[in-house]
């Protein structure tokens, strides 16, 4: 897959060597665990890795990976399938891709990094005729009390369609759709929503009815799906303008 996106001071490209993948693994470890090291797993070898760099310095400022699947019949091989029972999605007939290990260097606060990332994602989806983008969207920490408005908002507005909805598989989960009875405060909900998930939702994305408590990563995460055909036309045009 070809990718050479440049916007402003940042550029996105596909990893071209083992050294590129190692650089991504090192950034992931620093972002996820706050220390030097390598965050690596068995999925890395099967994935296409995207690097976002500062064009002036060459510094790696963000990264993520794609795991391409021919369709729902392959979804049991995804990273997400470790945590969610995804048999309902086995009936999805179109090409799918799992987006994972998304991270931005913690010292970077430039919103253009996320814009370039979404431009790269859009280019990949279009070039590969992807019909569903999915993954795990993570909240920092495992204390659900910090995110009650966010989860209540997800319950009220963004639960996945019943025909695709993941079922519980992980040993520790927060069943927010069943447990929460509060009316969400939209301002607090959006403030607590991770930026990546917020963008998914603006594209018409949907989430599972429960969050997984991931003690190893120190996060809460929800399964997130975006059916490409359901993205609003105006949002598609905006994303493709960034993708070039």
pLDDT (tens digit per residue) in 41-84: 999 999 999 999 999 999 999 999 999 999 999 999 999 999 99
Tell whether 57 is covered by a domain. no
pLDDT over 70, % of the chain: 98
Tell whether 154 is covered by a domain. yes
Tell whether 140 is covered by a domain. yes
For the chain, helix, strand, coil in percent to 5 are: 40, 25, 35
* pLDDT value for 244: 66
Confidence label for 1 from pLDDT (cuts 50, 70 and 90): very low
Tokens of 192: 């607590």
Q: What is the mean pLDDT of residues 205-216?
A: 96
Reply yes or no on whether the pLDDT at 5 is more than 80: no
* pLDDT value for 116: 92
* pLDDT value for 243: 67
Q: What is the mean pLDDT of residues 212-225?
A: 96
Measure Cα distances from 177 to 12, 173, 211 in Å. 37, 12, 9
Rounded to the nearest 10 degrees, what angle do helices 233-243 and 111-127 cross at?
100
Reply yes or no on whether the pLDDT at 226 is more than 80: yes
Q: What is the mean pLDDT of residues 128-143?
A: 96
Tell whether 160 is covered by a domain. yes
Tell whether 148 is covered by a domain. yes
Tell whether 15 is covered by a domain. no
Tell whether 109 is covered by a domain. yes
* β-bridge pairing 132-140 and 96-104: parallel
- Domain enclosing residue 214, as ranges: 66-243
**What integer best gives the mean pLDDT of the chain?**
93
CA distance 187 to 50: 32
Tell whether 53 is covered by a domain. no
* β-bridge pairing 96-104 and 173-174: unpaired
Number of domains in the chain: 1
């Amino acid at each position: 897959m070809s990718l050479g996106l440049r916007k402003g001071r940042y550029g996105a490209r596909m990893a071209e060597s083992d050294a590129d993948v190692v650089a991504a693994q090192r950034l992931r470890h620093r972002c996820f665990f706050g220390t030097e090291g390598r965050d690596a797993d068995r999925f890395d070898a099967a994935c296409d890795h995207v690097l976002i760099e500062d064009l002036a310095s060459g510094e790696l400022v963000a990264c993520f990976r794609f795991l391409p699947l021919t369709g729902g019949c392959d979804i049991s091989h995804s990273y997400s399938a470790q945590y969610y029972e995804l048999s309902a999605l086995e009936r999805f007939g179109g090409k799918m891709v799992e987006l994972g290990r998304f991270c931005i260097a913690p010292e970077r606060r430039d919103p253009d990094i996320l814009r370039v990332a979404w431009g790269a994602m859009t280019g990949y989806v279009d070039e590969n005729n992807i019909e569903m983008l999915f993954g795990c969207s993570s909240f920092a920490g495992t204390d659900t009390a910090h995110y009650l408005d966010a989860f209540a908002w997800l319950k009220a507005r963004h639960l996945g369609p019943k025909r695709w909805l993941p079922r519980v598989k992980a040993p520790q989960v927060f069943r927010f759709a069943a447990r929460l009875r509060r009316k969400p405060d939209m301002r607090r909900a959006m403030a607590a929503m991770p930026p990546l998930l917020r963008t998914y939702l603006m594209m018409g994305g949907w989430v599972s009815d429960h969050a997984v408590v991931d003690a190893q990563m120190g996060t809460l995460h929800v399964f997130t799906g975006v059916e490409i055909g359901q993205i609003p036309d105006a949002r598609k045009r905006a994303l493709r303008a960034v993708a070039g």
